[in-house]
Amino acid sequence: MSLIVLEEAFNIPSLAEQSAYQARLFVADGNGQAHADRLVDIHGERLAKMDKHGVAHTILSLTAPGIQDLDEPKAAAATAREVNDWVYQQVQKNPKRFSAFASLSMHNPKDASEELRRCVKELGFVGALVNDNQRLPNDEAAWYDQPEWDEFWSTVTELDVPFYLHPIAPKGEIHRRLYKDRAALIGPVLSFANNVSAHLLGLVVNGVFDRHPKLKIIVGHLGEHIPFDLWRINHWLEDVHKPRGAVSMKKTIRDYFNENIWVTTSGHFSTLTLKYVQDEIGIDRILFSIDYPYEKFEDACNWFKTLDGKFSAEDLAKISHENSKKLFPHLQS
């Protein structure tokens, strides 16, 4: 079965040292250099693994922390442009097998909008992936659920491309207070889902989807814990917070998952979990992904093969590629 994957990290050579440093948090064997090499490789080992495991198309995105770790606006904008130009050249070498998400400096909505427009209109990118909050000077961070970001979300919907909200490791005061003495909770164990779920739910309760009803948001890891608490979230938003006027949202959390939000299987290869998420948000909102090189092609693709007979052929086709083709109609695969 043809597979499309869309939470697949790369890096550019000039940022490889950053990747090797980050690997100490996320690579079991501690070989940061090998991890950094895999991120920079596009057409060698990565493509060979795609061929071996039946992956027809990969949408590439800059690895975390990426641009969101740069607290100086001009440096962040310049690095984003450098990254986008580099990955554009890589995609052009094999556009049937690769496309790209734009990397963006999220220091201000105007600059983010302009770079996204350039990437989509001039470079043919299929959307944007941002690594959660933008780091700002003085240990501050930008959240994109505030009214000043409406300019950016208007650009996203005008261009009619998805926006992938991806995790980043905690920094500054949050790291010091919550994770300094419990470092194993940084990343996939806890912090990634905590941070992204708060950001996504911020978009919900602050009315971003109501002001931009055609906005398309993707999150990974089968929903960053939200589907597993969906009843409770919905109950409290609808039965407590709306009656007391504490939220701006006009619809229910379930409505936004039906209309605006998609999830991927990246790094979450559990059959029971997939069935649960299907029951909660529907098969049409689920997209297959791997999370390479943080996860292995073998683990993701071999697991997906075991779903044969546990899900209908129609549902597996939707997860593997049909839902992605609907969301990204211009893929060349």
Query: What residues form DSSP beta bridges with 39?
Result: none
pLDDT in the model for residue 180: 87
CA proximity to 100, closest of 231, 173, 11, 194: 11
CATH number where 286 lies: 3.20.20.140
Q: Spell out a b/e string for 83-118, using b for 16 or more CB atoms within 10 Å of the CB, else e.
A: bbebbbebbeeeeebbbbbbbbbbbbbebbbebbee
Does any domain span residue 333?
no
Does any domain span residue 40?
yes
Q: Number of structural domains, the chain?
A: 1
Query: Which own/partner pairs from 141-146 qualify as long-range (CB within 8 Å, at least 24 positions apart)?
Result: 141/171, 141/172, 142/106, 142/107, 143/199, 143/202, 144/106, 144/199, 144/203, 144/208, 145/199, 145/202, 145/203, 145/205, 145/206, 145/208, 146/206
Residue-wise pLDDT for 21-71, tens only, equals 666 666 666 667 888 889 999 999 999 999 999 999 999 999 999 999 999
What sign for the dihedral angle of Cα 295, 296, 299, 301?
positive
Residue-wise pLDDT for 286-331, tens only, equals 999 999 999 999 999 999 999 999 999 999 999 999 999 999 998 8
Which pair of tokens denotes residue 332? 């060349």
Mean pLDDT over 79-95 rounds to 98
Residue-wise pLDDT for 213-253, tens only, equals 999 999 999 999 999 999 999 999 999 999 999 999 999 99
Q: What is the span of the domain harbouring residue 110?
A: 3-327
Does any domain span residue 83?
yes
Does any domain span residue 332?
no
- The CA–CA distances, whole Å, from 106 to 68, 73, 131 equal 7, 8, 10
Does any domain span residue 58?
yes
Looking at per-residue confidence, does 70 or 170 come out higher?
Answer: 70
pLDDT in the model for residue 29: 65
Catalytic residue annotation: 291
